[in-house]
Structure 1
Amino acid sequence: MPAGRVSKGIGRGDLRAPFPPRYVRRMNLRLIGIGAGVLIILSLPLAGAIAGPDFAGQDDGKGGGVFSALGLSDSSRTSPAAPARSAPTADPQQPGPAEQPRTDSSCGPELSSPHGVEAQTCVLVGEGRTWGRSYYRNTSGRTLDAVLTMMGPAGRTVQIRCAVGAGDEPGLCETPKEASAGGPESYSAVAEFAVPDDEGELLLRSGSNSPAPGDR
């Protein structure tokens, strides 16, 4: 090379020389990647501060989360409903007393004797049957015999004997019930109270059709 002639080539230490295009592209990509990474790192604390612990997936067990952070209720978390009150059951209806069958009666007056015997005799009809009954009270102080006779249509007769105690408590004597052949007016009943000895002194006769004491 002739002396005094300076070369115009590019030296390695000359920073003013332009880079080849492929190097420029690589450097740009690296700068873009580094800048994006820096932005992501810087944005993480800010996002955590804005979102709070709920957005970080933490749950304090007190109903927190996305819905609570936004001031909304989480429909999937419901408080246990109060048990529904059952309607009071009506008490079963208690059966009432059975209706007593109707009984018709035809009675004579209440009679008494000076010997301490009181009685009233009746004819009763009910449920297609007829029978005689005598209500009495013995205040004589001794045991008596009572014979009750019921007479019906066509000469039909039923008779029964009853022992009357010496006490003064009320009692009754009645005949067996027979199939009715008519109404109470078709029957009559008579009760006779006597001393149970050989003489058989009659103390009182009471009938269903006896006249009242004032009518005699």
Structure 2
Amino acid sequence: MNLRLIGIGAGVLIILSLPLAGAIAGPDIAGQDDGKGGGLLSTLGLSNAPRAASAPPSGPAAVSGRGRPGPGPAEQPRTDSSCGPEVSSPHGVEAQTCVLVGEGRTWGRSYYRNTSGRALDAVLSVMGPAGRTVQIRCAVGAGDEPGLCETPRDDSAGAPESYSAVAEFAVPDDEGELLLRSGSNSPAPSDG
């Protein structure tokens, strides 16, 4: 009789663990949507994240945990970029400069790393059609951590290829020694 009771108990445990095993195998544990219907926490009803319905909704609205239509995830606006090559100086400065275009706006961005051992100034300029120029000065701290300098976003006034950006990294003193210049349309460095 004890073996029969143990067998029945094991069968019940297996049946009860199947939904949990399916939830663990599909979605990730952090509750992020992986395109398979929601995370483990939302599948088990333990988070505020919306649960997916068994059939996809017939419209753009998603189904919330209570079965009512709710807003779907917001679409991220498309951003195009035109970047020059990564360049470095023997003084310990590395940079890559880009022109970005999105939602009818254009701006410049320079990614950098400063291992020179001293704080620097960076001046990032974006040049556009009809002599339009936007410029910003960024303080570049000493250290190995990557950083970025970015101009304000301005209404686009022409085709993306009519814009270019240049970042100049210099010592912030009276002499202003230029250590590196990085451009969005610079040619790739040659190995010669």
1:92 aligns with 2:92: no
Displacement of 1:182 in angstroms is 1.7
Task: Report 1:1-216 matches (<5 A).
Answer: 91-92=65-66, 97-214=73-190
Equivalent residue pairs, number: 127
2:129 aligned partner, one-letter code: P
Displacement of 1:215 in angstroms is 7.7
Q: What is residue 42 of structure 1 aligned with on the other side?
A: none
Maintained 8 Å contact 1:125/1:183? no
Displacement of 1:104 in angstroms is 0.7
TM-score (norm 1): 0.56
Structure 2: state its 5+ residue gaps. 1-52, 54-64
Give the distance between the partners of 1:204 and 1:112, measured in 2 at CA. Answer: 7
Displacement of 1:125 in angstroms is 0.5
CA RMSD of superposed structures (Å): 1.7
1:176 aligned partner, one-letter code: P
Maintained 8 Å contact 1:146/1:194? yes
Q: What is residue 6 of structure 2 aligned with on the other side?
A: none
Give the distance between the partners of 1:99 and 1:204, measured in 2 at CA. Answer: 37
Give the distance between the partners of 1:215 and 1:127, measured in 2 at CA. Answer: 38
Give the distance between the partners of 2:191 and 2:77, measured in 1 at CA. Answer: 34
SS in 2 for 1:170: strand
1:151 aligned partner, one-letter code: M
1:181 aligned partner, one-letter code: A
Give the distance between the partners of 1:158 and 1:114, measured in 2 at CA. Answer: 29
Maintained 8 Å contact 1:148/1:192? yes
Displacement of 1:186 in angstroms is 0.8
Displacement of 1:95 in angstroms is 5.7
1:107 aligned partner, one-letter code: C
Give the distance between the partners of 1:146 and 1:97, measured in 2 at CA. Answer: 37
Give the distance between the partners of 2:137 and 2:169, measured in 1 at CA. Answer: 10
TM-score (norm 2): 0.62
Larger Rg: 1
Displacement of 1:206 in angstroms is 0.1
